[in-house]
Structure 1
């Protein structure tokens, strides 16, 4: 079956989009990192690896990512098994609370924990439990870096394992229970072996996310003298400016290469451990814990209190005192920090406006692109559209896995010169941040839409064709309305991710084009701790409101599209 004119034009437009925002930037990055004297060569990479600072940063990146990934795997799997297999109460609320740290920007997480546990902690000083003044901060160590990376990425593993538990066949677990298998034996002999590919995917997801994390690695790693590749890239580019592009492009290629190797290993392990005994989503198994249920619920409550309530309480307390380090009393209480960042600081007001503009614009554009790409990727009968859609989705997944700083370097290389014909440069504008967001976060908005297309009756396409509907009308009148809730869900997730991020924009922002993430990081880096805390509190409240909006939209979506609405 040939392509209709409208469908052909759509695919051509998407090809141009993919070439400009995926192939060209990453191709230029590869050209700089893998050429020497104008010819393909590995000499730039060898020269980079000959540097002691690069080798140390590479080792620190691998070490922190691997160890924090393992910790996140253990914690996330344990929490998922409690929530997914037992009869604990208030599961929706628990999952929402456990996933919230993932949606809070990593730089905010780092700031909150630093303020919760240090000698100047407002909470500890108020309670009289603060370490002596001048004591070394317990988080300014490699262990502190890995601890917070584990906390940040445990929800990722939780999400992946919960989704897998919904597809496990109940027949096998019920048969094992009928034959007398107790819960721990059932877990060890049946459930965990079936989850092996998912556990590999969860570890690699946590590993790659930690590898590209910038907020935690910068705020904790720089004082701890524990430099990783993302921080090394940021240090060199911020110290030497655009003239250091060639140097940092080579380091970025090294970082991207490690990420791609991790993804390849994940696919290889999943193929070797693949099991064909999964089915469609079904009611989850509910193992009655009996007298152990209060213990399991207590474990969940304590984990939420430690990883969410404690740092957020410290963050709020710091935002409410006149000077960082004072105890929170009636005399030291002030709302001046909030007034400063919300009413008087022009840079922070611009940051909120800029982040809303570029994150909102990226979310809307990605929602529209996801509807078009998802239709092609799930089209019945294969052919060029389906191969194109599947290929585009794969490229989007790879771009999402590549650390944000690498994408930033690629976009600087691509757009630092004026655009052909128009003669306008996007460098040092919001436009380059907007385009980088499209590349970095398309995968987030695409997944829920592809899942929604997969649940539609394939006969809809044939019925619309028989009725004489051309491609444009089929998309407007049939498919777009049906997948619109999933597209809206994906758009909100994209907005949540882009609104608070710092990894992509850390190297792309400029005066007048600040984002929320860079403004918070700059406040903390400049020593304005109370202002950083106030702005972080506002960001957390905005994130919670947006998650509540996503929860409301999720009531009309299939189970699993919104993570905490199982």
Structure 2
């Protein structure tokens, strides 16, 4: 029963208009404040620092920008990003069209393996290819295929960086393109088929023109990812002196020279400008997409390959074996020999490297623990906060929703090195009022993770909340339930699958993260990515390979868990399911 006073108050609210506009004001203000602090202030601090450098000495700043070192690194960065984008675009577009239009067996498994290559961190992919090639490769030596001793490793330098980066970013192209293809009405394809159109004509004259904005956007995002990639150039470029802008920042911060922070801020601003152009252009292209889905008329597979199907499947599996399975087997082979370069035989098999990194070495055990803790806390914090943020975006902040969403997307879209430098500038001095500094602590890494991955957690939660029927909540409101009670007893249970999906996706990405933590770590706060890079730099590739194998297994197991419970999540939450979502029309 509700008393007369509460009933009268509720009736007054609902009669005045939409009840969602009369409550949640303090929650909306708090959520907006947190978004501004986490996502906006660090980037603003970076812009102010770069502007301050210009105003303090334009001549000195221009001399820094046009120094031979920065010009070379900028040229290398753009060259690598462009070349890897061509590879990523070719692979991503081709595989997406095949997976979404051709009747194949195990389409879901093929898409899962393809996306797995994106979830494996860049530095692990680079290490896998590095250990695969060259005269010391345990896997090649086991089959007698290793090149002669003294032969340079072909993966070091421009060619190796471009190849690995292109393979790494191909799934990113596929995910973006799949979002556009899924909105193409299948009735258009059926009409073309009835007119006698061949698959190649449908691809060239119907599908690709309809999703042209998504194709261009996907290529731009691959370019942006290439500009900001740190792990691959660090492992395959630094050993031979091939410098890009992210690795240049890393070297400058490691050198502890004069004006290090100022120079790093300027270089990161240069990266941010290049990346922002790509991100803004990508967003504008997607906003011009005119494809409109009518009802449930989604694109479905329409190509019956007949006797060619088995050859297409063989081709896809062969490609994945060459680009994913064999490099990972090389990592495994490197991790079970006593020393890198030794011949892999039954009498040389050993698990000493795993014992070393998991039990003996304090720094590696601490790195696994830190990565697990940082990724877990980031996932928990972001999932809870994004539930509140998504609620107020849907109910209270509708007028500025697009602006807030763009602000949340900004740290994720920008390269991690930009976010890392922004956090250094923000927390290098003690915090105002409380006078406490979190620089060189675990808290600054956790803050950077929350800023970088908030968009990942928000996407499935926001999609779930916007699809909820408000009748249940209105009934609870008429029963006297307050906002907190409705959030805990109604909203959270209904969106729990989406909340868990967002949390697990954040954990997957943060667990092996390197770029941000490479700039923010200090003694005692090492992460898996940082220690793996340090082990490789110290000439201990077998231990680095053991760490890479363990962390990859964690990611693969979590992805399998997501796949098993994937039916609980909203549509298109899991990227590999989006790639294989188009079912054959009956």
Question: What TM-score does the superposition give when structure 2 sets the normalisation length?
Answer: 0.92
1:202 aligns with 2:188: no
Change in Cα spacing, 1:86 to 1:335, as seen in structure 2 (3 Å) is same
1:504 aligns with 2:519: no
Structure 2 partner of 1:486 = 498
1:51 aligns with 2:63: no
Structure 2 partner of 1:68 = 84
Shift of 1:241: 5.9
Shift of 1:331: 2.2
Structure 2 partner of 1:300 = 316
Change in Cα spacing, 1:229 to 1:462, as seen in structure 2 (3 Å) is same
What does 1:273-312 correspond to in 2, within 5 Å?
274-279=289-294, 282=298, 284-312=300-328
Shift of 1:550: 1.4
Structure 2 partner of 1:455 = 467
Aligned residue among 424, 445, 450 for 1:433: 445
Kept after mapping to 1: 8 A contact 2:370/2:527: yes
Kept after mapping to 1: 8 A contact 2:24/2:392: no
Secondary structure at 2:440 match in 1: coil
Deviation by residue 1:218-246 (Cα, 9 ceiling, x = unmatched) = 11111233211101110111112685111
Structure 2 partner of 1:104 = 120
Structure 2 partner of 1:18 = 35
What does 1:64-463 correspond to in 2, within 5 Å?
64-240=80-256, 243-272=259-288, 274-279=289-294, 282=298, 284-379=300-395, 385-463=397-475
Shift of 1:7: 1.4
Shift of 1:473: 2.4
Return the alpha-carbon distance in structure 2 between the equivalents of residues 241 and 100 of structure 1: 40
Kept after mapping to 2: 8 A contact 1:116/1:124: yes
Return the alpha-carbon distance in structure 2 between the equivalents of residues 166 and 178 of structure 1: 21
Unaligned stretches of 5+ residues in structure 2: 1-17, 582-586
Deviation by residue 1:502-555 (Cα, 9 ceiling, x = unmatched) = 011001111111001101111011111100011111111111111112112312
Change in Cα spacing, 1:110 to 1:477, as seen in structure 2 (3 Å) is same
Number of residue pairs aligned between Structure 1 and Structure 2:
560
Could you tell which deviates more after superposition, 325-334 or 472-481? 472-481
Unaligned stretches of 5+ residues in structure 1: none
Shift of 1:267: 2.7
Deviation by residue 1:294-337 (Cα, 9 ceiling, x = unmatched) = 12101110111011111010000000000101111122111100
Return the alpha-carbon distance in structure 2 between the equivalents of residues 193 and 480 of structure 1: 41
Kept after mapping to 1: 8 A contact 2:184/2:291: no
Structure 1 partner of 2:3 = none
Shift of 1:164: 2.5
Secondary structure at 1:386 match in 2: coil
1:524 aligns with 2:536: yes
Return the alpha-carbon distance in structure 1 between the equivalents of residues 413 and 515 of structure 2: 13
Change in Cα spacing, 1:344 to 1:157, as seen in structure 2 (3 Å) is same
Return the alpha-carbon distance in structure 2 between the equivalents of residues 327 and 284 of structure 1: 49
Shift of 1:470: 2.7
Return the alpha-carbon distance in structure 2 between the equivalents of residues 117 and 51 of structure 1: 34
Return the alpha-carbon distance in structure 2 between the equivalents of residues 535 and 223 of structure 1: 20
Secondary structure at 1:131 match in 2: coil
Change in Cα spacing, 1:350 to 1:241, as seen in structure 2 (3 Å) is farther
Return the alpha-carbon distance in structure 2 between the equivalents of residues 534 and 280 of structure 1: 50
1:31 aligns with 2:43: no
Return the alpha-carbon distance in structure 2 between the equivalents of residues 202 and 21 of structure 1: 27
Shift of 1:360: 0.3
Change in Cα spacing, 1:45 to 1:551, as seen in structure 2 (3 Å) is farther
Change in Cα spacing, 1:242 to 1:481, as seen in structure 2 (3 Å) is farther
Structure 1 partner of 2:5 = none
Shift of 1:269: 3.2
Secondary structure at 1:331 match in 2: helix
Kept after mapping to 2: 8 A contact 1:320/1:337: yes
Change in Cα spacing, 1:152 to 1:412, as seen in structure 2 (3 Å) is same
| Higher Cα Rg, which structure | 2
